[in-house]
Amino acid sequence: MPLTQELRELCSQNSVTIAQNSSLAWPWQEFVSSSARPPYLEINVTSEELAPGLILFDPQTGINSQSYIPDKAPFIMTDAGDLVWSGPITPDASNFRVQSLYGEPVITYWAGSGGAADSSSASHGYGHIVIHNSSYDQIGIVCPKLNLTLPPGTSAPCQADVHESFITENNTMLITAYNTTKADLRDIGGPEDGWVLDPLVLEIDLETSEILFSWSPLAHVPINDTNLPLNGAGVNSSNPFDFFHTNSIQPFEGNYLINSRSTWSTYLVDINGNIIWQIDGETGGDFESLPEGGRFSWEHFARIERASDTQLRLRYFANNNGDITTANASVGLELLLTVPPTLDHPPQLLKNLSDPLYPVVSLAMGSHDILSNGNHFLGYGIQPVMKEFGPQSPQGHDVRWSARYDFDNGAASYRTYKTPWRATPASKPSLRIRKSGQSGSPTHGLNGIECGSSATRGYVSWNGATDVKYYVLYTGNHARSMEAVGIVKKQGFETEFIIPENGGHDLFLVGAVEDDHFGVMRRSAIMKL
């Protein structure tokens, strides 16, 4: 089926139905050629420059368990709200992100039981990490079997926790793993023979599953450093006290940056497990004082980078709320630290990012990334909101883009990323053919195209494709003698297009094109009218 003639462009448009089954359900998107049901993004955007990249998030049920989420799955979307990829439906897919493995881009996410939004499991979980390549082939599952002590009645074949799954430059993976163990809780008003969660930090060799590094907060941090109220926890193994709550790990210059939600602290730990320094969100810790606007609490997503030989940039998503009784604005925070810590050079505030017109109060989870053009991207965790800020304003008044994907507390995404991602799926494009008035056809499109009189419409999508520019339409009466009759410009996730009157041909297929030379990358299955 070579393209030997100049093809005419067929009329096309973005095809999507916005569905909603009640006033209690947030709208979602539906298509003809795909069963995917991603959330509708309510977007506000200014004319200021945005960073390039796609949005990766994984909506789950939030605090409001009555919220209806059609598909709980990892999604990739554009910042215009168009779906790019709908991943496998799973009860909890968390920390969905792009990483690099053996020099190649991959996407990874955690799947299991419990999860970051699950209050019944003290907001941790037991599961595995899934790895897909840029064709969306599943190329690995990281399933640590760690002999942890789990709460009574809990079993899990894989014991990685939801909070971290960081692939290092050495092609190892840093994970959290929550162990239930005995501890003396008398210093905080609990029993001598009490129970705690010890959220281990582990580095795993991805080829051999060998544990290369293990760090126990219980062995290095006093339990009375916690800011979490005991509230009756810790008396038995069914309700262990979450005194530390490890929620992020980052390798840094041969050491490990480890963040604790419950102690409001971040620790730089060496390869032998010794704490090099600690920064505390209230007191400053080893840095002793924090600048105005630089305090933080219940924080997530501690990330560090080198600013100079003696300075580091440290950023957070600072939740600033430990329970539903407070209403503090959650912010993206960035501090400049002089190391080693010294009284002569206290931390400096670089960023305190919040939207003064629409502040968001997030109880848990969240992320804060710096994008390629210097913009900052915040995911608000347990609140279904994400925002992109400009690079200049220290106080974060430059909100350039924001999106909501559910009502307050109705949905949550543990972290949200905006990042470059290019993919050509191993799967075929999906094609559906409909005639005007045919059952199952969306009424919005049948009369919505004004540039043709044909009653036959095609609907094509290719789940996960990032670089498609056109689809070539082929028609015929025999599978071996189909001819190209037109090109269709890709519009959104699903493209609706006119099929020209063709002398009685009843077989159709499309070929996806990623360049202007009309070289077909992959063809759909043949569809019969």
What CA–CA distance (Å, rounded) separates 462 from 318?
Answer: 38
Confidence (pLDDT) at 118: 56
Element at 451 (helix H, strand E) = none
What pLDDT, in 10s, does the model give residues 227-276? 999 999 999 999 999 999 999 999 999 999 999 999 999 999 999 999 99
With CA atoms as reference, report the closest residue to 63 among 401, 418, 380.
380
Confidence (pLDDT) at 502: 65
- pTM confidence score: 0.94
Whether residue 74 has a cis bond before it, omega within 30° of 0: no
Residue 393 confidence (pLDDT) above 90: no
Confidence (pLDDT) at 450: 52
Structural domain harbouring 119 = 50-419
**Residues 529 and 497 both lie in one domain:** yes
**Residues 220 and 173 both lie in one domain:** yes
Confidence (pLDDT) at 326: 92
Confidence (pLDDT) at 77: 98
Among 399, 419, 439, residue at a domain's last position: 419
What pLDDT, in 10s, does the model give residues 442-493? 434 444 455 555 678 999 999 999 999 999 999 999 988 899 999 999 999 9
Confidence (pLDDT) at 447: 42
Mean pLDDT of 329-341: 97
- Is 42 buried (19+), middle (13-18) or exposed (0-12) by CB count in 10 A? middle
Residue 419 per-residue DSSP state: E
**Residues 331 and 356 both lie in one domain:** yes
Among 396, 419, 442, residue at a domain's last position: 419
Percent of the chain residues past pLDDT 70, beyond the cut: 92
**Residues 41 and 108 both lie in one domain:** no
Cα 114 to the center of its chain, rounded Å: 17
Residue 440 confidence (pLDDT) above 50: no
**Residues 307 and 239 both lie in one domain:** yes
Among 419, 443, 464, residue at a domain's last position: 419
Residue 2 confidence (pLDDT) above 80: no
Contacts of 434-440 spanning 24+ positions with Cβ under 8 A: 434/32, 434/458, 434/459, 435/529, 440/32
Q: Which tops the pLDDT comparison, 440 or 64?
A: 64
**Bridge partners of 131?**
108, 140
Confidence (pLDDT) at 115: 62
The dihedral formed by the CA atoms of 219, 225, 229 and 230, expressed in degrees to the nearest 10 = 30
Confidence (pLDDT) at 444: 42
**Residues 67 and 24 both lie in one domain:** no
Q: Which tops the pLDDT comparison, 204 or 5?
A: 204
**Residues 152 and 293 both lie in one domain:** yes
3-class DSSP state of 181: strand
Confidence (pLDDT) at 420: 98
Residue 188 sits in a domain whose CATH number is 2.120.10.30
**Residues 160 and 209 both lie in one domain:** yes
Confidence (pLDDT) at 448: 46
**Residues 524 and 396 both lie in one domain:** no
What pLDDT, in 10s, does the model give residues 298-326? 999 999 999 999 999 999 999 999 988 89
What CA–CA distance (Å, rounded) separates 429 from 431?
Answer: 7
The average confidence (pLDDT) of the chain is 91
What pLDDT, in 10s, does the model give residues 145-164? 999 999 888 889 999 999 99
Confidence (pLDDT) at 1: 46
Confidence (pLDDT) at 435: 84
Q: Which tops the pLDDT comparison, 228 or 4?
A: 228
**Residues 457 and 526 both lie in one domain:** yes
Residue 515 confidence (pLDDT) above 90: no
Q: Judge whether 406 and 67 are in contact, CB under 8 Å.
A: yes
Q: Judge whether 294 and 317 are in contact, CB under 8 Å.
A: no
Residue 3 confidence (pLDDT) above 60: no
Element at 445 (helix H, strand E) = helix 443-446
In the chain, the number of structural domains is 2
Neighbours of 517 (CB within 10 A): 7
**Which has the minimum average pLDDT: 81-95, 108-122, 387-401?**
108-122
